Structure 1
Amino acid sequence: MNNLGLIKCLSLAVGVFSAAANAASRIAVLDFELNDITSLPNTPLEVTRTASMAPLLIAALSRSGEYKIVAVDVASQKAANASFGYLFRFHDLAARLGQQQGADWVLVSQHSKPSYLFSYLWVYLIDVKQQAAVARYDIEMKGNHQKVTQHGIDTLAGKIQATLAISKH
């Protein structure tokens, strides 16, 4: 092989490896579960608020352009989640669900509401390869209107992005 052929081969190899290294992380964002332990739990307003959280998180993570969001249909998530909190507690099973969907990472989340005045976002970042949680996030939200929810989700997205920047596969 002449020098020109060798240079072309090396250039191609560098291009392939750098493209693989810079490939966007694939993240599966599961729906948030509502863990409402107030005296009047699971009101329609709170159920709707909680249902809005995964789409808000997907939008927040997508803004950077660094991640590919992997869709997990409701039926697949429901089938994998044998009961309330199952995927939240068993990270290896959440990782398997992510693996089936082609994800590198899975976010499993609960919206915990112990009071009418505040609630928490509890989230695990699961590494699909390790089949284990690599980070846990606890975000306190004081109040229950849309602006508070959006701020909590944006804070969560920032923390997830910081972890992923350190934990590149």
Structure 2
Amino acid sequence: MRRHKPASGCLLAFLLLFAVYSSAAPRIAVLDFELKDLTPAPSIPAEVARTASIKPLLEQELAKAHYPIVQIDRRDIAEAAAGPGYLFNHHDLAAELGRTVGADYVVVGRLHKPSYLFAYLMAHLVDVRQGKLIGDYISEIKGGDKKLTLKGVESLARKITATLAPDASRSR
């Protein structure tokens, strides 16, 4: 009977870990969405609450699609953001934040509300490795109902997943 050398067992274990790691879905960090309310009565508590609900809803939808979600400390985000909309417009800085937590992608978003009748759920998908925007999405939400907000988030998650699907299959 032939005995295997211990080194070949280690090599096999390494190869198995590499195969599992390389087939893993990309890790995504979702930043808090910010409210850009252009209505005559901006930032009412209901809109602030709706805006705050978007990040956890999007994280849930992406997790359902088997994307690992990573968190970035709010203090780090606040320190990187020079003001409202800054990270939304500076993809390189959003990518730097993602690198600090080992994310592959960062979602930076806003709820743009030009009217009482509708709002736009806007998001940028940033590739952390390249430090570049790879997805620019808009989903229209008519009204302020929670169900309509969820539908907008679901639409956004489908768009992000469609962008990342080729990346996920390429890494396998």
The alignment's TM-score, normalised by the length of structure 2, stands at: 0.89
Amino acid of the structure 1 residue aligned with 2:111: H
Q: How far off is 1:74 after superposition?
A: 1.8
Q: How far off is 1:11 after superposition?
A: 4.5
Q: How far off is 1:16 after superposition?
A: 3.1
Distance 1:18 1:152, change over 3 A: same
Amino acid of the structure 2 residue aligned with 1:35: K
Amino acid of the structure 2 residue aligned with 1:87: L
Q: How far off is 1:10 after superposition?
A: 6.9
Distance in 2 of aligned mates of 1:111 and 1:71:
20
Residue in structure 2 matched with residue 68 of structure 1 by the alignment: 68
Q: 8-17 vs 32-41, which deviates more? A: 8-17
SS in 1 for 2:152: helix
Amino acid of the structure 1 residue aligned with 2:89: R
Distance in 2 of aligned mates of 1:87 and 1:9:
44
CA deviation digits over 1:2-31, x for unaligned, max 9? 896698677445423311211231111000
Q: How far off is 1:160 after superposition?
A: 0.8
RMSD value, Cα: 1.9
Distance in 1 of aligned mates of 2:79 and 2:159:
29
Residue in structure 1 matched with residue 81 of structure 2 by the alignment: 81
Residue in structure 2 matched with residue 109 of structure 1 by the alignment: 109
Structure 1: segments with no counterpart, 5+ residues: none
Residue in structure 2 matched with residue 50 of structure 1 by the alignment: 51
Residue in structure 2 matched with residue 36 of structure 1 by the alignment: 37
Q: 28-37 vs 155-164, which deviates more? A: 155-164
SS in 1 for 2:76: helix
SS in 1 for 2:68: strand
The alignment's TM-score, normalised by the length of structure 1, stands at: 0.90
CA deviation digits over 1:138-159, x for unaligned, max 9? 1111111100000000111111
Residue in structure 1 matched with residue 19 of structure 2 by the alignment: 18
SS in 2 for 1:125: strand
Distance in 2 of aligned mates of 1:166 and 1:23:
13
Amino acid of the structure 2 residue aligned with 1:30: L
Distance in 1 of aligned mates of 2:50 and 2:157:
17
Amino acid of the structure 1 residue aligned with 2:90: F
